[in-house]
Amino acid sequence: MTGELSPIDKAKFVAAKRSVDFVEDGMRVGLGTGSTAAWMVRCLGELVCEDGLKIRGVPTSTRTAELAREVGIEVISLDEARWIDVTIDGADEFDGNLNLIKGGGGALLQEKIVATASDQMVVITDAGKEVEKLGAFPLPVEVIPFGWQTTKSLIEELLISMDVLGRDASLRMNGSRPFVTDEGNYILDLHLGRIGDAHQMAMVLNQMPGVVENGLFIDICDVVVVGFGDGRVETRDINDGTVAEDRLDFVETDNLFSDLQD
């Protein structure tokens, strides 16, 4: 089956496949949300069903929870887990310091809560997500529905004084209606082009009334696993300062991945 994947999906697959090496028997594992994280959940499910791996998963969205149960992973809440050994998740962008933009899938709040409650955060991605400066991908900001248009105006006014290339904010839609997060909130996507100071941006956004959380993950990620379309995998550890490279072979077979929909 993997032989039928596009190069970008092959990159996602090999990153996900390598990332599950960070999971050990008995761990509480944070399960990310998004297309790349879905590959990882499937890989873990295969280990649970075929190799007897015993883990408990803490999902970051209802979508991930449903998929985890489908592939045989025991699902528990963060309150039940209390603390997490490792969280594995995707990213929309990452820079050389492993700072991230996340939230393209709309689960940034739960993703950030779970990631910060973890001993280690491992990010799985493809090489196209690396940037010199964050901001090319629209920055998601979760806001409460009450007064969201006022919050949007205040954010746009705030951006005038920030080191960014663009200042437009748009309400994320789901068809003809606003996209609603698992917590019942809305998402504003900020089209910034480039964020000069991501630390400052994250801080000032979260000080604004009406803002619940933003998609900047600063100093949270420990390891990024970068996949390439030819099967190469690069693992960067920000704490150890190491970079490891290897290659995964593709095997065409019908397995747990055969019905995966991104």
Active-site residue, from 93, 111, 142, 213: 111
d(CA 248, CA 262): 21
CATH class of 139-213: alpha beta
What letter does residue 136 receive in the DSSP assignment? S
111 is catalytic: yes
Kindly report, as residue ranges, where domains of CATH 3.30.70.260 are found in the chain: 139-213
Q: Is 87 annotated as a binding residue?
A: no
The pTM for the full model equals 0.93
Q: Is 104 annotated as a binding residue?
A: yes
Q: Which of 65-74, 120-129, 243-252 has the lowest mean pLDDT?
A: 243-252
Architecture of domain 2-129+219-247: 3-Layer(aba) Sandwich (3.40)
Asked if 86 contacts 123 with a C-beta cutoff of 8 angstroms, the reply is no
Tens of pLDDT, residue by residue over 25-81, are 999 999 999 999 999 999 999 999 999 999 999 999 999 999 999 999 999 999 999
Mean predicted lDDT score pLDDT of the chain: 94
Q: Is 118 annotated as a binding residue?
A: no
